[in-house]
Amino acid sequence: MVASRHLRFALVATLAATSIGVASAQPRTPPREISQVTGDLYRARNGNWYTVFLVTPDGIILGDPINETFAPWLKAELDTRFPGKPVRYVIYSHSHFDHAAGGAAFAETATFVAHENMLRNMDGRYPQMPGDMIDRNDNGVIDREEIDIPTNTRPGVCGMGPGFFDGIDRNGDGVATPQELQLHIVKPAIVYNDRMRIELGGKAVELVHPGLNHSNDATVMVFPAERAAFATEFIADALVANNPRSLPSACGPFDGSPLAEWIKSYRTVEALDFDLMITGHGSMLVDKALIRETRELFQHLRDEVAAGMAAGRTLEQLKESVRLEPYKDWANYERLRAYNVEAAYRNLLIYR
Ligand SMILES: [Zn+2]
């Protein structure tokens, strides 16, 4: 039973990860469901991508719309289950296309809210992107190689699945502009800097920007009455299926954010008042202790790599010697340990 469940989630994650953006392929609908977390707080699933919503007497506060095929499905479900309670707010966990697209389904009734850096990431310049997909030739548009290099260097972990570039190059001219990439993302109408509180129908959600990590425009949603929080990616990235204690993907030099900022992000979340973490990936709900444990992993990694560098060791030597011993039972240990060391090494060279 347990084994088959694990297998199913692994397959789901693979299918979802390889089908993003393949507009021309026959659409394969990932598993979708809505489950109650506590009280009026729910989690909604699209394959291994998850969002959250809170139902109030005056309407619904929704997290990510996820994408343009999931969002209309979710809207129809909400209209049926909660008639007369339209989505009043859409709150983006971050600006990346695989979580933030699809908002048009809610645009008639909802106000879109995000951290202020999301506007920078949608102003027409090359946005901060996941998976080491960066503007390597600095020409301001997304070239095929800029997807293919990380995809082929670390298949299944960084970059995207096959066919992704052709899906975002919507006019087929051989380059993808940031506008083409973000075609289905509704810009936020309200942005905040550090923290923000939204009240609706006698209920509340607090928005917290944790700092720089997997993205540069993250928001953590805290539901004080429900004692729950929702966050994506830097808490559980797309490789997390059923075990949240997982080594991070570590694409590029840790997604272009200083390790000190990652660690600060976890400390910020640790200081928030909640018990239950709802993640954007992974089948499970997570105990708050995970946040501290993940912060300790980042500190352990940074400290060991920094000490080795100070002792004059090379990257190749560090990839052998930094064993991350306390984390050998975590998911993806064998697959990602050496990459974590390399990403930390490169990160410390840039940001030290
Ligand atoms: Zn992301």
CA 218–ligand 1 middle distance (angstroms): 9
Distance from C-alpha of 96 to C-alpha of 66, rounded to nearest angstrom? 9
Q: What integer best gives the mean pLDDT of the chain?
A: 93
DSSP H/E element including 14: helix 2-19
CA 202–ligand 1 middle distance (angstroms): 31
pLDDT digit string (tens) for 232-275? 999 999 999 999 999 999 999 999 999 999 999 999 999 999 99
Phi, psi angles (nearest 5°) of residue 225: -70, -30
Residue 16 has pLDDT above 80, yes or no: no
What is the pLDDT at residue 28? 81
Q: For residue 113, list its beta bridge partners.
A: 91, 190
What is the pLDDT at residue 7? 35
Residue 29 has pLDDT above 70, yes or no: yes
CA 217–ligand 1 middle distance (angstroms): 10
Model confidence at 1, pLDDT cuts 50, 70, 90, reads very low
> Who contacts 11 (Cβ-Cβ below 8 Å, separation ≥6)?
none
CA 241–ligand 1 middle distance (angstroms): 16
What is the pLDDT at residue 352? 77
Whether residue 77 contacts residue 95, with contact meaning beta carbons closer than 8 Å, is answered with no
What is the pLDDT at residue 10? 36
Q: Which residues surround ligand 1, an ion (CB under 5 A)?
A: 96, 130, 233
Distance from C-alpha of 351 to C-alpha of 345, rounded to nearest angstrom? 10
Name the least confident of 2-16, 140-154, 197-211: 2-16
> Who contacts 48 (Cβ-Cβ below 8 Å, separation ≥6)?
9, 12, 13, 16, 17, 30, 238, 241, 281, 282, 283
